[in-house]
Structure 1
């Protein structure tokens, strides 16, 4: 519990009307999209401006209170989970689109602006914001920055870091700084790049200038069915080998297709083992030529059905099915875990085969829907908590993430490490690497108050699992203590 002095300092920082202390209301903030990890905060503050955030952080710094910045709470790695006896600084009331500059193609935003709303605001000027996570209707630009989110179109257009020019950041001691420049020229060390993807451990981003793109002249989208995930994976490799860089290449296996079709009726084939959504955009002549090449490559690999979207409505319907896939899995399983990892494109078939085998060994189903173009997997481990399957599902999810590293990939492509995969970090990084990361973190936050216990492994973190407490082996041996 907070002492009275700390409580009063936070109320003074943002005003009593912007503070939540009711125990029932606080439960709304106990987890993000990874619901297996939960912790009720002591207090939630809801600032409306950068100065409000700075005042709240300064109060936390003075009273040595750990704090966690939170956006829409759609994260899937436990990165926004509160800290025991800590404060949540929620940015949901900071939703202003400060400026749209159609000449320089930039937008200035507060962190609570949703990803899709940026594009809606820019559309009147023939512009849009390229990163498009599946949760783009609800996820916010602040959260996108924390996780360096990508989305379906990141193959051609890159991730959040490729579209953020500058940021106003409140550092962990309450100092307000600007990182980056409003042009492509960055002077000195790229501290903007350091903060993007740091999962809220280095400060709180309060105002962002992003790059906007012109709406492409032509967009062509197709949905192709294949007799196997291997055949679909070979198409992806051949597309890139042919020098074609689609705007997006998405793959779904049969379980994911069944779930999405039940949810939105997108016109997918329920019996097909795998499907690809391929989208090209750009100048009309180039787009048409490459589209013919894509069709030829699909047919060469045994495409059993090829549906070309002829209208904007058909295109939207295809994408509605793909973007609904995560939530739609709830129609075929009472519980599921969304994992996130990356493998080289050349090993897609191998990793999917291994995942199927691992699921079979664990007695669990795994649905696969992912950004095939850059090898960013999103396996969904299906389970029933009431049937006692949760622990097996968690272990399988961890094993899949670590398999990606084994095959030359990464623990995460865009969902982050958070609480979920922190203990797997030594599988990917050596002791010197982790020590360097920790030193960077300490340079920004020597008191370790800003989103502590996330991203980097600690004995405390790795001794804890969701649900019933399970002692870490080192604790049982008397080497470490539980705090």
Structure 2
């Protein structure tokens, strides 16, 4: 059975009715509807897809969130929840006849409990601000996506964000203890909490990564951990991408779980080095960044073990950070890979797939072959330790057909990820970008189960509709298209 979607068209009369209803729930300055005010909300970090929203709502309190959802439920208005808009899959792209509900104004840190090692924060609090608030207690929040200076905790919850240290410390789902959210019916629901366990079904794990389709976050309780006294990073160069990829598997096979294990190919190293001056070997075919943290003795021993494994794996050069400034310099290139892409290409399309570590070399070689096929360059920079790829497909949107080729390139990368036993996303989410690829990975029965979960939380299908979960009709059409094109398999139920 397909998911229903609202079909009330956007008209000026409709917009006036929605604005009037929202103004009973919010102060006038928190309701935006003129084009010059709504234009900044037309897309998220996936800027290739844009749509002006009918109205933007900016609640400042949980009570106002409740009132907005109740008003929209009564009028059958679709709602797109939005954090900072740094997402890269189009999950926060507006719907023409709907509203964007931004939680940016709800940005207060409610409490930091150093004894319990938790922080309670509102949805609009920036990821990095949590660690800044906890720093005086010697604590920090571990997940560190590259956008952590700007992205908000509710957006992290929606996408189950990770970061360069997710190999050792986990994704958002491993570091969030509780979420307070509002359902489409305006009911306040608490999932998890400050304790180590909560009664009933583990709906918290279902909610995290649900991309705004199940409820609107109004408060998050996160786990804080002690800041390691010492952290050092190895920068290893390889003259062959395959050897670099195999070295990743060798480090893990040796029983070592680095704090971070990242890989960049030569294209990405040459892209970021002039921008960050991180000291990267721009002649290497691949660079690995392997971090160790903990007590000084632990770090010294682990750095030695990792260095030995990397040398045995064929590293042509190894450098180890000698102080905190050098460590941060080594990481600066990896953290700034996305903005640095603008130095060598007018546009880039950032993909996000996850594969088994042992298949890294195979997939990187496959991507290299696709570069020739689609006549587009691709810079590979990714969380190698957990197999989360972020290929940056470089193109020029001003040249006819290039963006379409970039989309096809990205779709084939995701198909390859599925083929080798991986998934179509690691942390960016499905949004609108990968909705067809969902049909490639999951059977009709599995997609129907996803729709069933959505229906259990949102019977009206008003929360972020037509995102993340494809309709069964869409999957059927996708299967026919791919069978005819002969590019990908369609998983039939």
Please list, as runs of the form range in 1=range in 2, the aligned pairs for 1:34-49 lying within 5 A after superposition: 34-49=46-61
Q: Could you tell me how far apart the structure 1 residues matched to 2:319 and 2:104 are?
A: 40
Q: CA separation of 1:82/1:363 partners in 2, compared to 1, >3 Å: closer, same or farther?
A: same
- Contact 2:108 2:121 survives alignment (8 Å): yes
Cα distance in 2 for residues equivalent to 1:461 and 1:316: 46
Give the structure 2 partner of residue 411 of structure 1.
424
Paired position in structure 1 for 2:311 = 299
Distance 1:219 1:26 in 2: 44
In structure 2, what is the equivalent of residue 454 of structure 1?
467
**In 1, Cα distance between equivalents of 2:261 and 2:344:** 25
- Match of 2:298? 286
Q: Does 1:128 find its partner at 2:140? A: yes
Range with greater deviation from structure 2 (421-430 or 350-359): 421-430
Separation of aligned partners in 2, 1:443 and 1:286: 48
1:204 corresponds, among 203, 216, 229, to: 216
Q: Give the conservation status (yes or no) of the 8 Å contact 1:250–1:370.
A: yes
Deviation at 1:70, TM superposition (A): 0.4
2:453 aligned with 1:440, yes or no? Answer: yes
**RMSD between superposed Cα atoms in Å:** 1.9
Q: Does 1:364 align with 2:376?
A: yes
CA distance in 2, matches of 1:460, 1:435: 11
Q: d(CA) in 1 for partners of 2:23 and 2:50? A: 25
Q: Does 1:179 find its partner at 2:212?
A: no
Q: Secondary structure at the match of 1:14?
A: coil
Deviation at 1:255, TM superposition (A): 1.0
Pairwise mapping of residues 204-353 of structure 1 onto structure 2 (< 5 A)?
Answer: 204-353=216-365
- What is aligned with 1:99? 111
Aligned to 2:176: 164
Deviation of 1:286 after TM superposition, in Å, equals: 2.4
Match of 1:24 among 21, 24, 36: 36
SS of corresponding position for 1:277 = strand
CA drift at 1:403: 1.0
* CA distance in 1 between partners of 2:248 and 2:26 (Å): 51
Relative to structure 1, the CA distance from residue 270 to residue 296 in structure 2 (aligned partners, 3 Å threshold; closer, same or farther) is same
Q: Partner of 2:67 in structure 1?
A: 55
Is residue 19–residue 31 contact of structure 2 (8 Å, CA) maintained in 1? no
> Matched residues in 2 for 1:432 and 1:461: separation?
14
**Is the counterpart of residue 193 in structure 1 residue 188 in structure 2?**
no
Q: Tell me by how many angstroms 1:422 deviates.
A: 0.8
1:423 corresponds to: 436
Asked if residue 402 in structure 1 is aligned to residue 415 in structure 2, the reply is yes
Q: 1:134 to 1:373 in 2, by over 3 A?
A: same
Whole-angstrom distance in 1 between the partners of 2:51 and 2:471: 18
Residues 423-460 of structure 1 deviation map (CA, whole Å, 9 limit, x = unaligned): 11121111111111101100111111000010011378
Instruction: State TM-score, norm by structure 2.
Output: 0.92
Cα offset for 1:287?
A: 2.0
1:473 positional shift: 13
Question: Residues of 1 paired with 2:259 and 2:298: CA distance?
Answer: 13
Q: Could you report, residue by residue, the CA deviation over 1:399-441 in whole angstroms, capped at 9, with x for unpaired residues?
A: 1111100110000000000100111112111111111110110
**1:463·1:472 contact (CA, 8 Å) conserved in 2?**
no
| 2:489 match | none
- 1:393 CA displacement: 0.6
Provide the secondary structure at the position in 2 that maps to 1:221: strand
Give the count of matched residue pairs.
469
Deviation for aligned residue 1:472: 12
Q: Residue 243 of structure 1 aligns to a residue in which SS?
A: coil
Q: CA deviation at 1:284?
A: 2.5
Q: Which runs of 5+ in 1 are unaligned?
A: 466-470, 475-483
- Mapped partners of 1:463, 1:316: distance in 2: 48
**d(CA) in 2 for partners of 1:396, 1:313:** 38
Where 1:380 maps in the other structure, the secondary structure is strand
3-state SS, counterpart of residue 387 of structure 1: coil
Matches of 1:70 and 1:284 in 2, distance apart?
42
Q: Distance in 1 between matches of 2:88 and 2:475?
A: 18
| Alignment partners' CA distance in 1, 2:472 and 2:256 | 46
**What stretches of structure 2 of length at least 5 have no aligned partner?**
1-12, 485-493
Answer yes or no: is the 8 Å Cα contact 2:262–2:381 preserved in 1: yes
More displaced 10-residue stretch of structure 1: 446-455 or 183-192: 183-192
